[in-house]
Structure 1
């Protein structure tokens, strides 16, 4: 986070400096307006290309795959894993029960077993532990119908 703040601060400082130099050059008569605008446009183009390469083309690691071996080491059953995935979608026990065609008390049992196996006290803590173990991919709800995968 600090690196991002420093980079953008330096970027803003460089742009302000560029504008000040171009203003001085225009007012002193040493440089024409068209050349100044072209230089500023070129700087913005280079900055845009740099930011595009840094932010949009991040390498995805193969290590982000689900670790099936860790699931078996933790002795998580298939049904418990389905419940864990439903929890990661933000569903309540009742919604999970409806989705998996089980009773709500069965879901509570599966959630309790997951909490014990993951050594967690809350559902959110269990999700974080599962994410750290790379046994689940978390989704963030953007609106009523859209999920985003968090890597």
Structure 2
């Protein structure tokens, strides 16, 4: 029973496909100019989009150098700079300690020295000052 139903369904699908193909052939012959113009228009549209994206694309941002002159003037060590970057990323003392493989007390000491050198009283002040100086992005 199922084989007969599947067989009839396959025959109907093949017949429908044949009719659609014949209709497509007639359509392609009678409207060949319209189809050609449509394909040319689509090609120019794609070309315009590609060229527009390339021409008007935002330039690549300049590489962040960390303002070496400000670092030298402040006297920040490499470790203090790493701690400051972690602060700017929003990490807690424990997270910073885990990332840098040091104790939380060492992180507190580095943060205190960063606060002194940046003349800041809290984390947000230190981060704001460091961004103003171009030390952290």
How far apart, CA to CA, are the structure 2 residues paired with 1:120 and 1:33?
70
Distance 1:90 1:104 in 2: 16
1:146 match: none
More helix by share: 2
Stretches of structure 2 that go unaligned for 5 or more consecutive residues are 1-32
Does residue 67 of structure 2 align to residue 67 of structure 1?
yes
Aligned-pair CA distance for 1:72: 1.7
User: What RMSD, in angstroms, separates the aligned Cα atoms of the two structures?
Assistant: 3.2
- Secondary structure of the 2:102 match is coil
SS of 1:32's partner is: helix
TM-score scaled to structure 2, two decimals?
0.55
Count of aligned positions: 106
Pick the structure with greater CA Rg: 2
Partner of 2:134: 134
CA distance in 2, matches of 1:55, 1:125: 35
* Equivalent runs, 1:2-151 vs 2, <5 Å: 32-55=34-57, 58-61=59-62, 64-120=64-120, 122-124=122-124, 126-137=126-137
| Structure-2 change in CA distance of 1:36 and 1:85 (3 Å) | same
Higher strand proportion: 1
Q: Structure with the greater relative contact order (CA < 8 A, sep ≥ 6): 1 or 2?
A: 2
